[in-house]
Structure formats: structure tokens, C-alpha cells
Structure 1
Amino acid sequence: MTTIDSDYLLSNINKKSSSSTNNTSLGKDEFLKILMKQVQNQDPLNPVDDKEFISQMATFSSLEQMMNLNTTMTKFVDYQDPFTTYVNWIGKDVSWSEGQDGKEQTGKVSSVKHSKGEYFLVLEDGKEISPWNVTSVGQTSK
């Protein structure tokens, strides 16, 4: 009986998880189907070694856990609130450009404000700017 090379399967499954448009690589469903076909079509006089089967099932289990972790981490990164990034700008100089003239201005961030679903940087002079207009963030010049 031919065994499935776990390194080959893992590399192909990892390719699939990173590129959903490639339909030629194996996923966890295909891995399980191949494993079940292997068991169903084994030679009755020379059955698959139980240790080998357990090893392949462990590989499948590890693969499934890695894919679930990858999905969870992707969701976590996608849902990160930018608030923590903006809070790190407090006490730093920011440069931004706004308006039709596009003239660059600089100011020191004193706080972060959240209003009506949007974040604003509040500068020392009380001016509020959108973080989307910021072109650079740097240490305060002394």
C-alpha cells in the first residue's frame, strides 16, 4: 500500500489556505477523503500498520488545528481597533495635510477622541484632525 507523505500534504494544504483561488491543492476535506480511501482499499493480506494510521490521523488533527488557528488569528487581526494605535501617538508630533492647498502642518497630540464612529486626534491647541490625514508621526522635538 502506498502511504501519503505528510510533508507533501501539509505543504499543499498550506498553499490552499494562503491562496483560495488555487483549486489544485489539497484541503483538510481532501486529506480525510484520501485517508479513508486508503483504509477502504488496503490489501487484506497486508493491512495498514496501526501506528502509521495513527500517525496520519495525528497529522490530520494537527493540520485542522493549524487551519483553525490561522482562521482565528486572521479574524483577530481584522477586528483590531485602531484606537490603541492612536493612543500611542499621544505626546508625539504629527504632520498632516488637509484642505485644498494641501499645506503640511505639524502639531503635538494631547488626546484621542471617538465621536460618531470616527476617531480624531486632539492637538495641544485644541484642533481636531482625522488620523487619515496624518502623513507622519515622530518624537516631540525639544
Structure 2
Amino acid sequence: MAVTSVDNNLTTYENKVTGKTNTGSTMGKDQFLKLLVTQLRYQDPTNPMEDKEFVAQMAQFSSLEQMQNLNSSMQLNQAMSVIDKKITWQESDGNYYAGVVSSVRMKDNKPYLMIDDVAIDMEKVVKIEPKPATATENTTTD
């Protein structure tokens, strides 16, 4: 049995159970771990996986997890750097909106920029500008 068929069956089963669809071609850490467990469960008992193969796969899993953690951290840092800046974003209806980012909220391990009570996906941002100065900030005393 080819590993791809196990992966395809696992993905199909997972989609039926969770109701999710796999839209990308990348494999996340959860899918990788499920595939590894499935591989171990259905291996030939007379010819089990060698220790070095298992260690190599666990190292790949660990690397994948660390890369995903690094990516999440970088996305959060990028989102935090936009606080107090004016952004312009495009919604799915084609209209453009603008506002000053007041905070960042995490949802499903993804940062969203908050303007008032509106959460904006960073992928929709088309322009970032410094925060516009208010009238009191422009006044100077001599």
C-alpha cells in the first residue's frame, strides 16, 4: 500500500468527521502526526519500522511544529507593529475601508487587527500609513 493512499484515505476520513476541507497542498502538524500514527498502526508486525526511520519522522514532525510556531510568532509581531497606524483594507464586496488599529486579537491562531469592534484579516490590508495627527497633537507652544 502506498503512503499516498493512506494520506488520501486519512484526509477523506478526517474531512467527513470534522467537516473541514483541505484547501491547500501543505500538511500541518496535526495531519503529519495522524499520518505517522496511521503508519505505525498498520505496519507489518513481521517487518516493523526501524528505529532510525521513526526517529527521522519524529524529527520532521518537531521541525514542522517549530516552523509553524515561528510563523505564528512572526504574524503576531507583524500585526502588533500596525497598532496605532491607519490601515486601508478591501472587503469581499470590493469596497475599501480605513481606520486606525487599536489592538490585535488572536482567533484560530491567526492575528486580526481591531478597529473599534471590527476584526480585520491582515490579508485584506492594502495600505498602511502613520496615524493621522489630531488637532491637539499639532499645536506647539513657543
TM-score (norm 2): 0.44
TM-score with structure 1 setting the length? 0.44
Tell me which structure has the larger Cα radius of gyration.
1
